[in-house]
């Protein structure tokens, strides 16, 4: 479909009509654009850091203000319903008040997740706002078509304008040796996207939505559906059914990733259904004619696969926000498939309306994604923690990993205190002082927490074929390194790194490190015979029970004592780094205190 180039008078007329029709939305767009341009000018490097709350509120608000205007216009007397805009403004004010008075959103991802939920809900609202109380299949199809065309056209025109303006600036800079700030290009982008793009979109949109009932189904749409979208659907169906056959033959549970593919396939199918809905039976195309109901029938077994995959993850690891939304969409999918197969009305506005409800409902309340996920993870932590306690504080590598993951999950949401009753510790007391006044809380010292809990890892539970699992011991002023030396004749400090010299002289002896078999050997200088050998592999394997941070290891566990025929020694590890690979243990560096005596 070719876009008709409007005349200057037509552009002016449409722009004026847009101001009269959408005064609040355009004021919001222009005001937001001006604010953004101003803060880029004032805070060139820190504008996102210092004005997150305002920017997020301005972004969320635009779609809601446009949508409420579409909704109001469907009443017989729209002026009586203008107060609904005040409710939208009040809700936007509430959203702004809810956002944290901090410069970093790293303190909790919940704020950004809620922002995206309300942003998605606002755009979904646009897809059904005029049709909440009325329904006309053809008018709805034309409404969605006009919306898509208006978006594409506004992006095209504003993009061309932006390209022309930045090329003009570049020409001025090059030809007249005028210095132009780099921020000007960003400000122009904001102007074109925030004001020009919005204005063109709103001025291009027809007002009498329910009067447009004639369907013009362009050949390009038929080609898109028939030769691109439906073949893609068939391809995904073949992949998913082949995978289903594979897991049945091998009798294994599906991977969690399959959930996303089934959901993506479902959404692609719904988009096709919306495109072909008014003319499906009229086109002379077998694939389009038969798309309904066969696509939805073939989708039913795949939804069973989807539920098995997501419920397996929930059973193993509990609910997180991500799994909550996947499960919600899976349930929504079942509802939509049932509606489209068995309903006689088949009003496609049900799709955006139901998704809108999910986005809003999942954002607040005890049933929200955040509340349900937090409770689920706390329950998971309690079950694993209690099980480890019942095993005399000896945990498997997987259990320690799960406990650490849950602790990290709750720390990101600043909810670690919810584990106090389980651990019998005040976990907030393990938080370091805040080093930046912008952060409400300092860093949580999880090393001290695990040290206080005193769990040990069963070294035999660590997979031998685990690739690149690193273990490190760092020097620490807090670790007790007291060792009696009265039983020894001499002392040496050993320091070996990957590319350093592997030999150290010890008077009439010398010591050599053999990283290929993780051992130290002490030789007599006079004849190069071995006086003492210190094997390290067993000790390194034993230390791996502490996880990758070996600073929790006791002094006894960091000590090796060897007695030979002519000499005895004590080796106290002070710094250490090694990794486990499928080939074994690879020593990277070792620093230690060596105490030596002659028998």
> What is the three-class DSSP state of 506?
strand
Nearest CA among 399, 409, 322, 354 for reference residue 116: 322
pLDDT lower than 70: segments of the chain: 1-7, 43-49, 101-107, 434-441, 459, 462-468, 476-481, 582
CB crowding 336-365: b at 16 or more within 10 Å, else e? bbebbeeeeeeebbbbbbbbbebbeebbee
Structure tokens at 279: 């003319």
pLDDT confidence of residue 251: 86
List b or e across 35-61, with b for residues whose CB sees 16 or more CB atoms inside 10 angstroms: bbbebbeeeeeebeeebbbebbbbbbb
Task: Report the first-to-last Cα separation within the chain, whole angstroms.
Answer: 96
Query: Which residues pair with residue 512 across a beta bridge?
Result: 503, 521
What is the reported pLDDT for 5?
62
Residue boundaries of the structural domains of the chain: 8-211, 219-364, 371-460, 469-598
The tokens describing 397, both together, are: 């590598």
Of 195, 189, 192, 205, the closest CA to residue 151 belongs to 205
Tokens at residue 35, please? Answer: 């604010």
Question: What does the alpha-carbon distance between residue 527 and residue 525 come to, in Å, rounded to a whole number?
Answer: 6
Quick check: bond before 293 cis, omega within 30? yes
The strand pairing partners of 571, in sequence order, are 560, 594
Q: Report pLDDT for 107.
A: 62
Pairing of the two strands 530-535 and 519-524: antiparallel
Helix (H, G, I), strand (E, B) or coil at 78: helix
Parallel, antiparallel, or unpaired for β 509-514 and 469-473? unpaired
Per DSSP, the chain holds a count of helices (H) and strands (E) of: 20, 11
CA distance 306 to 311: 8
Contact 228, 285 (CB under 8 A): no
- Phi-psi label, residue 414: left if phi above 0, alpha if psi -120 to 50, beta otherwise: left
pLDDT at site 102: 53
Model pLDDT, residue 46: 60
CA 121 to CA 353: how far, in whole Å?
9
- In this predicted structure, what is the pLDDT of residue 463? 65
Say if CB 144 and CB 194 are below 8 A apart: no
The first and second tokens of residue 354, run together, are 């139901």
Distance, CA of 120 to chain centre: 16
Dihedral sign for Cα atoms in the order 515, 518, 523, 527: negative
What pLDDT, on the 0 to 100 scale, is given for residue 479? 60
Beta-strand ranges (E) seen in 121-176 are none
Give tens-digit pLDDT for 488-497.
Answer: 989 999 999 8
Assigned token pair, 553:
């290891």
Judge contact between 290 and 341, C-beta under 8 A: no
- For the beta carbon of residue 367, count every other beta carbon within 10 angstroms: 10
Angle at 173 between CA 172 and CA 177, to 5 degrees: 110
> Do 592 and 511 touch, CB atoms closer than 8 A?
no
The single-letter DSSP state of residue 7 is P
**Tens-place pLDDT, residues 315-332:** 999 999 999 999 999 999
Give the pLDDT of residue 467. Answer: 44
User: β-strands 469-473, 567-581: how paired?
Assistant: antiparallel
**What is the pTM assigned to this prediction?**
0.80
How far is residue 283's CA from residue 310's CA, in Å, rounded to a whole number? 38
- The answer to whether 29 touches 199, Cβ cutoff 8 Å, is yes
Q: Tell me if 591 sits within 8 A of 483, measured CB to CB.
A: no
What is the chain's alpha carbon radius of gyration, rounded to the nearest angstrom? 33
Between CA 508 and CA 470 the distance in angstroms is 36
Closest CA to 321 of 350, 353, 362: 362
């Amino acid at each position: 479909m070719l876009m008709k180039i409007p005349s200057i008078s037509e552009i002016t007329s449409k722009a004026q009509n847009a101001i009269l029709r959408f005064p609040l939305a355009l004021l919001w767009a222009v005001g937001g654009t001006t604010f953004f341009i101003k803060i880029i000018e004032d805070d060139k490097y820190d504008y996102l850091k210092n004005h997150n709350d305002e920017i997020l509120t301005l972004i969320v608000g635009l779609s809601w203000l446009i949508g409420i205007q579409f909704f109001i216009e469907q009443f017989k007397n729209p002026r009586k319903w203008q107060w609904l805009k005040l409710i939208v403004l009040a809700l936007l004010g509430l959203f702004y008040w809810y956002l944290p008075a901090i410069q970093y959103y790293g303190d909790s991802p919940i704020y950004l997740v809620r922002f995206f939920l309300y942003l998605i809900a606002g755009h979904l609202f646009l897809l059904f706002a005029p049709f909440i109380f009325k329904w006309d299949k053809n008018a709805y199809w034309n409404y969605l078509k006009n919306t898509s065309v208006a978006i594409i056209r506004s992006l095209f025109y504003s993009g061309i304008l932006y390209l022309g303006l930045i090329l003009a600036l570049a020409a001025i800079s090059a030809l007249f040796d005028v210095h132009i700030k780099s921020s000007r290009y960003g400000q122009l982008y904001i102007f074109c996207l925030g004001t020009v793009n919005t204005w063109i979109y709103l001025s291009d949109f027809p007002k009498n939505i329910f009067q447009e009932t004639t369907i013009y189904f362009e050949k390009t749409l038929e080609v898109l559906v028939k030769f691109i979208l439906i073949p893609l659907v068939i391809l995904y169906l073949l992949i998913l059914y082949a995978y289903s056959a594979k897991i049945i033959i091998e009798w294994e549970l599906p991977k969690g990733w399959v959930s996303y593919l089934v959901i993506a396939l479902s959404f692609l199918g719904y988009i096709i259904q919306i495109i072909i809905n008014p003319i499906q039976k009229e086109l002379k195309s077998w694939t389009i004619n038969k798309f309904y109901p066969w696509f939805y029938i073939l989708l039913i077994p795949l939804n069973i696969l989807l539920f098995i995959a997501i419920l397996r993850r929930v059973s193993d690891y509990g609910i997180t926000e991500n799994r909550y939304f996947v499960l919600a969409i899976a349930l929504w999918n079942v509802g939509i498939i049932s509606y489209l197969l068995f309903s006689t009305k088949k009003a496609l506005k049900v799709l955006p309306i139901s998704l809108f409800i999910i986005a809003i409902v999942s954002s607040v309340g005890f049933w929200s994604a955040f509340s349900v996920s937090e409770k689920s993870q706390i329950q998971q932590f309690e079950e694993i923690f209690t099980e480890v306690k019942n095993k005399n504080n000896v945990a498997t590598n997987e259990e320690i990993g799960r406990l650490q993951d849950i602790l990290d999950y709750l720390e990101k949401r600043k909810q670690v205190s919810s584990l106090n009753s389980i651990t019998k510790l005040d976990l907030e007391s393990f938080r370091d002082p805040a080093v930046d006044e912008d952060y409400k809380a300092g860093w949580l010292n999880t090393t001290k927490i695990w040290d206080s809990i005193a769990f040990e890892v069963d070294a035999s539970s660590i997979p031998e074929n685990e690739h690149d699992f690193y273990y490190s011991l760092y020097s620490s002023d807090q670790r007790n390194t007291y060792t009696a030396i009265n039983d020894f004749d001499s002392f040496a400090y050993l320091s070996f790194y990957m590319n350093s010299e592997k030999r150290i002289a010890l008077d009439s002896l010398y010591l050599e490190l053999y990283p290929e078999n993780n051992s130290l050997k002490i030789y007599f200088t006079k004849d190069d015979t071995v006086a003492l050998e210190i094997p390290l592999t067993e000790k390194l394997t034993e230390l791996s029970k502490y996880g990758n941070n070996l600073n929790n290891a006791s002094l006894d566990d960091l000590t090796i004592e060897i007695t030979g025929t002519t000499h005895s020694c004590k080796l106290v590890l002070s710094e250490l780094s090694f990794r486990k690979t499928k080939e074994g243990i690879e020593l990277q560096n070792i620093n230690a205190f060596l105490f030596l005596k002659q028998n």
